[in-house]
Chain A
């Protein structure tokens, strides 16, 4: 009996001592549940939706959007700006009251540093190519990559000899010389940047940017998360140079409170890995009490079911993404008045299937989908409404075009291809394929249409959609399909190497311009997974790049989308994504304040939710409302 008690005592003691170290975050004025932990708080390296939403709360960009209107550009940290007559030079006047959370002023210099950082391949910023619209930026990016490669190839002696000053300074150890050589190499790159890239701080509060080519959406880019500044003195403390390669090695200790310094309405005061984050108002923010809620708590919950249960039992006021497949039922229940918190908005994204447009498949066989007529025939035999019944069932809009209609002001979406089996068969016949008596498609030589392989990642509704597609093509075109379900990483690898015939895809736009979608189908684009290559289309995009009249430019881009959606068809669009939230409506059915409801959400498809605009309706508001009603 005694050993049992001893063991039990030890176990209990360890348990308690561990618990003593965990400090649960207190409830805040606004409480969020996110579906994942944040990936990074480094503004230049962000890519994920949650990180970007947080970015807008803790950093401040030059411009921002009026999320309640048509996403008009309004001043952010830059109070005003002027554009030169050739539309290439932007001069921003920064608010002199802009402050970092340690009280020091936000300078134009900080933007130069941050944007330069984004253009270093060493930083490995996924979005670095958004900066390529700036004069000399793309060349600098590749210049730096070459500089590092050449430096790495040198022997240590050659590295030191590359900088005669360092080689000749007496009294230095070899290690010190190498370290200094790496620093000199970095200085060389900074000098090169200053001489060739069109980003300049004219004075403390004036930033001038010269563009490579007219970019109608540049002010929109300036509002995007990765264009936010980081605090250079802080970042530099954790940036070292690898002496063998000259590469900048960035450690991320600085993104964790209390070290982290930001310039937005909020500053994170606590971040515990996988436990949660706590935001408080930045005491130095240039507009006092700008953020509606004084404190925000964000709890990451990975499991979709647990997240929904946690919201329902009151852990949070706002679940920022709902990934359970019964969301369709929750929305239907809301219609019947059974809950008041399931919310859906349409977004700036599209679910589609890629056609492999290459002439030959990876195994050397001729690819029948190389012929646009076949691709069009495939697309016109798909009943998208039937597919949505097996996919999300949650009321998304079916898509005949890539860019969600109505999401970009001034851009008129084309028609796209209809659901038309007769026309599809005609196109199919024109391409040389005929449906035989056995219901199977053959060409003039009698060869069967190759079995199409449908590649998709496991999980979610992709498998159901693939089955539905395969069945439609079998029925209407006599084409047999086989299915290739792969785990995400393997699927992604195949997709990038065009090791497929048809593959599931999806895309969300980043900035408010058609090119955020259309550039995907440009020859050689890094995200051109269908390997679509068409000179007319490429030419249209180049024309648009050089067109200074915004109206004419939009017409060119409209033609570009019409051309890909009605003629060359690199992708088969299925539906425009919805985004699902759980939060109580701010007003009840009678229009009274609904305590616990969330006020301030934007319904625009761009789906940017500035956290500092959100607040939870308080009980006092309802009391006051009722008192006023009674008085009347």
Chain B
């Protein structure tokens, strides 16, 4: 078990380095200039020149290595050992320094990630919590009474949840809730109430998928021998379903939860736009659009790390829930 964890941990830096390299190459190849405004006045050529020199934007190899040295904390370490390469100031120093954002000139990528990642994590996790609640109940009900009207109803809802894009459901909910019913506010963030609508919208496709997984697992489990044994022993129907059958039926859901949680946390670009949420998802799209090189690198590396660690965590959790995997 420990050997496995160590092996998996050792793979992480390699995976991240590959992701770093590929992302860097792709974002470098984006057309246009990172430092030029999209509209309006172009600054004097010497100004553009100065910015490009400052961040080595004129030399991909130099830029690649310099940024790598900062991101990995080697730069920070060397500053501790051999003295800084700038005169001292009050500027905060980061161990893992993701550099400045070109689009949001007053903010460093570190600040942007610190301010937006928790929002997306909260939104994503609450969406997963809602999805678990809805998906499991719908799946169990569907499996207990297969092919009944209630089974078809949940299947239909699940189908709609997967098929409808979230900018449709999001806008629809915004108009139904705050605009028509006067419940909640549009464009505000920071309270639990503000989070309900977007979290619910985000949860729908996940809930639908979990419902399908649970239903399949439950139908299989309910026809298994050990369930018949349990029933024969006189165990009540609720206990049979919720304790004996669900435990096995939950395994595929569990393995789906890892990537789903990571995806819910970062793939909420549309939701963030529609509900005006200050999360990290929007930066995946906006940073690429504005060729904000360091922001692209920052959010990609953070997302990659999250994904890698979530997969590891789920793999370990799986072994804990289902001891058969060990053999």
Contact = CB atoms under 8 A, between A and B. Distances in A.
B208 interface: no
B86 interface: yes
A15 B276 contact: no
Contacts of B237: none
Contact of B187 (A16, A239, A299, A526): A299
Contact of A302 (B43, B182, B273): B273
A39 B31 contact: no
Contacts of B51: 124
A122 interface: yes
Interface stretch (A270-278, A437-445, A540-548): A270-278
Interface stretch (B18-26, B121-129, B150-158, B220-228): B121-129
A122 B53 CA distance: 10
Given A275-B278, A299-B187, A37 B104 contact: yes
A15 B106 contact: no
Interface stretch (A106-114, A126-134, A609-617): A126-134
Q: How large is the interface on B (under 10, 10 to 19, 20 to 34, 35 or more residues)?
A: 35 or more
Nearest to A349: B40
Nearest to A239: B89
Contacts of A487: 31, 289
Pairs of residues from A and B, 7 with the lowest C-beta to C-beta distance, nearest first: A489-B32, A24-B190, A310-B187, A274-B278, A18-B122, A490-B31, A126-B43
A273 B113 CA distance: 10
Contacts of A40: 105-106
A489 B30 contact: yes
Contacts of B119: 18, 22
Contacts, number: 243
B48 to A, nearest CB: 8
A152 B250 CA distance: 63
A38 B107 CA distance: 10
Interface stretch (B1-9, B68-76, B171-179, B304-312): B171-179
Given A241-B86, A493-B33, 6 more contacts: A8-B133, A14-B122, A175-B83, A238-B89, A305-B171, A313-B186
A454 interface: no
Interface in B96-152: 103-108, 111-112, 115-116, 118-119, 121-122, 125-126, 128-129, 132-133, 136
Contact of B290 (A1, A33, A312, A489): A489
Interface string B207-243: 0000000000000000000000000000000000011
B13 interface: no
Interface residues of A, number: 90
A3 B254 contact: yes
Contacts of B42: 126, 496, 526-527
Contact of A273 (B111, B132, B187): B111
A511 B42 CA distance: 16
A126 B37 contact: yes
B289 A19 contact: no
A137 to B, nearest CB: 12
A7 B125 CA distance: 10
B179 A312 contact: yes
Nearest to B48: A124
Nearest to A149: B53
Interface in B50-64: 50-51, 53-54
A48 B104 CA distance: 12
Contact of B46 (A145, A243, A275, A493): A145
B186 A309 contact: yes
B88 interface: yes
A216 interface: no
Given A39-B104, A39-B105, A303 B115 contact: no
B41 A47 contact: yes
A439 B82 CA distance: 76
Contact of B53 (A179, A245, A314): A245
Contact of A313 (B30, B107, B129, B178): B178
Interface string A36-67: 01111110010110000000000000000000
B289 A489 contact: yes
Nearest to B33: A493
A275 B178 CA distance: 19
7 contacts: A3-B250, A126-B43, A129-B43, A273-B107, A273-B111, A309-B179, A488-B32
Contact of B188 (A8, A24, A249, A507): A24
A121 B46 contact: yes
Residue of B33, B103, B106, B129 with most chain A CB atoms under a 10 A cut-off: B106
Nearest to B273: A303
Contacts of A312: 179, 186
Contacts of B278: 272-275
B14 interface: no
A621 interface: no
Contacts of A239: 89
Contacts of A315: 185-188
A487 B290 CA distance: 10
A508 B185 CA distance: 35
A19 B91 contact: no
